[in-house]
Structure 1
Amino acid sequence: MKKHSGYIPALHYHWLTRWYDPMMRWFFPESGIHANLITQAHIQPEQTVLDVGCGTGTLTLLIKQAYPNVVIHGLDIDAKILQIAQRKARQAGQNILWQQGTATSLPYADQSLDHVCASLLLHHLTRQDKQHMLREALRVLKPGGMLHVADFGRPHDFSMWLISWFMRWFEEIHDNVLGLLPVFMTDTGFHQVVTTAHHRTVAGTIALYRAVKPLG
């Protein structure tokens, strides 16, 4: 399949997009991953949050429901998947600012966001685009702002090593399995890069990361 700007669609093929939410529920502990990501963010009232690569908007909507007073943006390159996200938000009666765009060129001003979240986005991107996305996240975050990432990571036990040995050849997961995401974050200029949690899945370890933009 031809890639668009280094981006691999949800479930790899556009025709599978409609099945994204059921597949995530069946094969990933999505609710636990998202709950941990939201908890680690410590979002405050009136802050501005971006869910980049928001997909069908599950995490975006959960953040808005947990923190009704925040301004939250959901951005994805895929117009079809954004339509699903918009429909879910309308049904839930939540006001979310949706925008089509690319993670490697975020359509937001410098130092305009308090938090950037990226759940299962980075493994869809080439190494170069992973690094571009992290630089863009650093640019749009305010000093002291935080990046929160949930994605495939270095396997944390033997069974996850076996699964990841096979999965690393799919999409752009190999860098993740090698544990390079924290390295990329540090090289970009983020400080206090920490791995906050691990989740076992049928596709391998999902790791949660938190990183902070320096104050000066």
Structure 2
Amino acid sequence: MKKHPHYIPAFHFHWLTRWYDPIMRRLFPESRIKTALIAQARIQPGQDVLDVGCGTGTLTLMIKQIQPDAGVNGLDMDPQILDIARRKAEQTGVTIVLQQGTATCLPYPDESFDHVFASLMLHHLTQQDKQQALREAFRVLKPGGELHIADFGKPQDLAMWLISLVMRWAEEVHDTFWVYCRFL
């Protein structure tokens, strides 16, 4: 397996990237979680939104579809997955701004966004990188802005524990599975 020195592709291998959306739709309640995350944000017309680790753009596009008058940006390190996000945006006729970059060094000025989202992304980062990514998220938030996080929590039963073992391998998950995380 060839890895980019700065990121792990979705599902660990580049050849699996194109299967990310179909697999997630079948195995994970991604749409329900992301809809709840957007609802809690109460995004208003004219607000600026950043989706850090946007992947295939599912959340980024959902935000823009729910609040078409918001400025919506997606950022991800993987150019292949950003190509999928761009195709999805073209197919749906939704205008979003997609950019390649890293959560630990956001390419935006201070106080640029009203909302920053990190959905199913932080588990990819080491503890040190999580801390830096959160510092960066707060740096680019406008005064009074909000950070919205959804990620995996502690497995609650044997089935989820087994799934977490597969995920730890498939996505090179760092310590998030063993720390109980909830929506902020």
TM-score, reference length from structure 1: 0.77
Residue 162 of structure 2 aligns with an amino acid whose one-letter code is I
Q: Residues 161, 139 of structure 1: CA spacing in aligned structure 2 closer, same or farther, 3 A cutoff? A: same
1:82-137 alpha-carbon deviations (Å, 9 max, x no partner): 11111111111111011111111101110110111111111112222111111100
CA separation in 2, counterparts of 1:123 and 1:101? 17
Q: After superposing the two structures, state which structure 1 stretch, 120-129 or 68-77, moved more.
A: 120-129
Residue 179 of structure 1 aligns with an amino acid whose one-letter code is V
TM-score, reference length from structure 2: 0.90
Aligned pairs (5 A) from 1:1-216: 1=1, 3-155=3-155, 157-159=156-158, 162-163=161-162, 166-167=165-166, 169-170=168-169, 171=171, 173-179=173-179, 195=182, 209-210=183-184
Stretches of structure 1 that go unaligned for 5 or more consecutive residues are 182-194, 196-208, 211-216
Q: After superposing the two structures, state which structure 1 stretch, 36-45 or 3-12, moved more.
A: 3-12
Residue 29 of structure 2 aligns with an amino acid whose one-letter code is P
Q: Deviation at 1:160?
A: 6.0
Q: Deviation at 1:177?
A: 2.4
Q: Residues 93, 87 of structure 1: CA spacing in aligned structure 2 closer, same or farther, 3 A cutoff? A: same
Q: Residues 91, 99 of structure 1: CA spacing in aligned structure 2 closer, same or farther, 3 A cutoff? A: same
Q: Residues 23, 102 of structure 1: CA spacing in aligned structure 2 closer, same or farther, 3 A cutoff? A: same
Are the equivalent residues in 2 in contact too, given 1:115–1:146 (CA < 8 A)? yes
CA separation in 2, counterparts of 1:65 and 1:101? 24
Q: Deviation at 1:7?
A: 2.4
Structure richer in strand, relative to its length: 1
Q: Residues 46, 160 of structure 1: CA spacing in aligned structure 2 closer, same or farther, 3 A cutoff? A: farther
CA separation in 2, counterparts of 1:145 and 1:106? 16
SS in 1 for 2:86: helix
CA separation in 2, counterparts of 1:141 and 1:5? 28
SS in 1 for 2:106: coil
Are the equivalent residues in 2 in contact too, given 1:112–1:142 (CA < 8 A)? yes
Stretches of structure 2 that go unaligned for 5 or more consecutive residues are none
Residue 65 of structure 2 aligns with an amino acid whose one-letter code is Q
Residue 10 of structure 1 aligns with an amino acid whose one-letter code is A
SS in 2 for 1:152: coil
CA separation in 2, counterparts of 1:130 and 1:2? 24
Are the equivalent residues in 2 in contact too, given 1:9–1:124 (CA < 8 A)? no
Q: After superposing the two structures, state which structure 1 stretch, 167-176 or 88-97, moved more.
A: 167-176
CA RMSD of aligned residues (A): 2.0
> Identity of aligned pairs, percent?
61
Q: Deviation at 1:146?
A: 1.0
SS in 1 for 2:151: strand
Number of residue pairs the alignment of both structures matches = 183
